[in-house]
Amino acid sequence: MTMLSNPATKYRAYPVLNLTDRTWPNNTITHPPIWCSSDLRDGNQSLIEPMSPEKKLRFFKTLVSVGVKQIEVAFPSASQTDFDFVRLLIEDGHIPEDTTIQVLTQAREDLIARTFESLKGAPKAIVHMYNAVSPAFRRIVFKQDKEGVKAIAVHAAELFKKYAAMQPQTEWTFQYSPETFSATETPFAVEVCNAVLDVWQPSADNKVILNLPATVEVSTPNVYADQIEWFARNINHREHVIISLHTHNDRGTGVAASELGLLAGADRVEGCLFGNGERTGNVDLVTLALNMYTQGVNPELDFSDIDAVRKVVEECNQLPVHPRHPYAGDLVHTAFSGSHQDAIRKGFSQHDSHGIWEVPYLPIDPADIGRDYEAVIRVNSQSGKGGVTYLLEQEYGIQLPRRMQIEFSQVIKAETDRSGLEVTAAQIYSLLDGEYLQASTPYRLQKHRIQEEDGTCTLTTEVLANGTLNKWSGCGNGPLEALVASLPVAVEIMDYNQHAIGSGSDAQAAAYIELRLPEQRPVFGVGIDTNITTASIRALFSALNRAKASAQLLKDSA
């Protein structure tokens, strides 16, 4: 089998609703929805190895700590483990007062009875039932007509009332999902839901949740949004109904579909952390929440330590979060490319810590979700001077002058091209050390002495060259001028920079000298010392030795 040249012989476009007066495209998301996590149910049902009770409890506690207030914890009639987990939550008092657990059941009496049994003693609970209503399910799976499918939902709704009345100490919320909603004729989905509402009779104190799943994504997200808007306009008791979204990600647009569904008037979102769930997963609640956050809307979910949340989810699901996953992936705040690094570095240096976030390439301040800036800029063979400069500055307080940034980035490039690997800040420093601070041939400075008299500075150095100790002496207006005068070779100083590294008693000084030998190109030297004059003298020797080495290289290659 190969891909078809005319896929229309096998696949067809999903029909679009006729909704020409749609309003959702003009709306914006201004407040968070009611969040419901289905990690412990939909997510757990889709794992290669479902979670153990210990893992489910750990995950549950993480969801609570993040601030999720409605948590679908199990499908109690489907397995003893799930039943027991609901019992554990209730009997061991794990459910905080402001959190409501939710359980799922199919629309069958034996399963409904078992589901209510699992909830005995719960102060409050959401009981969620579903049956699939789309044409394909009616025809292929159930061999039922529309009335038959509707009757299943209505009968289950009646059973819900019966079993809930038998446990009046619990505050019940009923939820119905017309499964495969997005692949169903929307008027029929409304018809089924209205029939369920006729049984449940929602009120201001007893709202009903109607959850509208894109069980399988079948269209572009705008079509789902139209379906939600149409549904919201036509459903009875709208003010007493909570419209909930439950999108999967078959087309890779689960987040977009939920966002557009919210624009279309939905009140609630079900999903999983980092998008776990059947096939391509449920909508990712983390991405949805942080998308809101980066639009200035408080999502009321707290991902201040996103890596801690990620760790729990990865360990419980035994599935890794992709390194490119929005907000949470290991690489999503990292720039390797030179131009990106340069822009980010400039963005950081101009950012006002109390102002609006505007750092290029970074839609969120990594610090807001507990990430440090170390991961933001990493250096490999694709990187330029920006990244190298940034890392030296951040990690070692070293501020290379601009032209030296260009020169030193060539040293790094040669190394990354050779190894094919990333270099860390420590490796960059070590390359700086080897190339500049340790440049001591042919002239190794042993010691120096400065005398000042009548405004003239005399500088004497002891220098080991080719195994011989030399004493060089020169005068000038300052130590550098005196040093240049003392040298046995003519040099021209092109540029000089210095700055402090750190402060207080540990402070050091860094000096950078750009120097040229006759008819040679200029090269830089670096010196670091607690004393700025010593740092400058060392910088000059570093530059002189590097200039000599480069002249020798030129001579050898001529």
Q: How far is the CB of 28 from ligand KIV (least distance, A)?
A: 27
C-beta of residue 551 within 8 angstroms of C-beta of residue 518: no
> Does 42 contact ligand KIV by CB under 6 A?
yes
Sign of the Cα torsion 548, 549, 551, 555 reads: positive
> Does 179 contact ligand KIV by CB under 6 A?
yes
Structure tokens that stand for 2 in this block: 């190969």
> Does 115 contact ligand KIV by CB under 6 A?
no
- The residue at minimum Cβ distance from Zn ion is 42
User: Closer to ligand KIV at the Cβ: 248 or 378?
Assistant: 248
Q: Is 421 exposed, middle or buried (0-12, 13-18, 19+ CB in 10 A)?
A: exposed
End-to-end, the C-alpha distance of the chain in Å comes to 62
Helices 338-350 and 385-396 cross at an angle (nearest 10°) of 40
Give the one entry of ligand KIV, Zn ion, none that residue 44 binds, where binding means its C-beta sits below a cut-off of 5 to 8 angstroms depending on kind: none
Structure tokens that stand for 69 in this block: 């207030």
Q: How far is the CB of 179 from ligand KIV (least distance, A)?
A: 4
Sign of the Cα torsion 448, 449, 452, 457 reads: negative
> Does 177 contact ligand KIV by CB under 6 A?
yes
CA 21/CA 42 separation, integer angstroms: 35
> Does 275 contact ligand KIV by CB under 6 A?
no
> Does 259 contact ligand KIV by CB under 6 A?
no
Q: Per-residue x/- marks for ligand KIV, 206-245, CB under 6 A?
A: -----x-x-x------------------------------
Residue 495 DSSP SS3: strand
HSE-up (13 A, CA, CB side) for residue 42: 27
Q: Per-residue x/- marks for ligand KIV, 465-484, CB under 6 A?
A: --------------------
CA 355 to chain centre: 22
CA 227/CA 427 separation, integer angstroms: 56
User: Closer to Zn ion at the Cβ: 42 or 226?
Assistant: 42
What residue ranges bind Zn ion (CB under 5 A)?
42
> Does 387 contact ligand KIV by CB under 6 A?
no
Give the one entry of ligand KIV, Zn ion, none that residue 130 binds, where binding means its C-beta sits below a cut-off of 5 to 8 angstroms depending on kind: ligand KIV
Q: How far is the CB of 246 from ligand KIV (least distance, A)?
A: 5
> Does 130 contact ligand KIV by CB under 6 A?
yes
User: Closer to ligand KIV at the Cβ: 258 or 405?
Assistant: 258
Binding residues for ligand KIV, total number by CB under 6 A: 9
CA 531/CA 300 separation, integer angstroms: 53
Give the one entry of Zn ion, ligand KIV, none that residue 177 binds, where binding means its C-beta sits below a cut-off of 5 to 8 angstroms depending on kind: ligand KIV
The residues pairing with 358 across neighbouring beta strands, listed in sequence order, are none
> Does 72 contact ligand KIV by CB under 6 A?
no
CB atoms within 10 A of CB 229: 25
Where along the sequence are the contacts to ligand KIV (CB under 6 A)?
A: 42, 130, 177, 179, 211, 213, 215, 246, 248
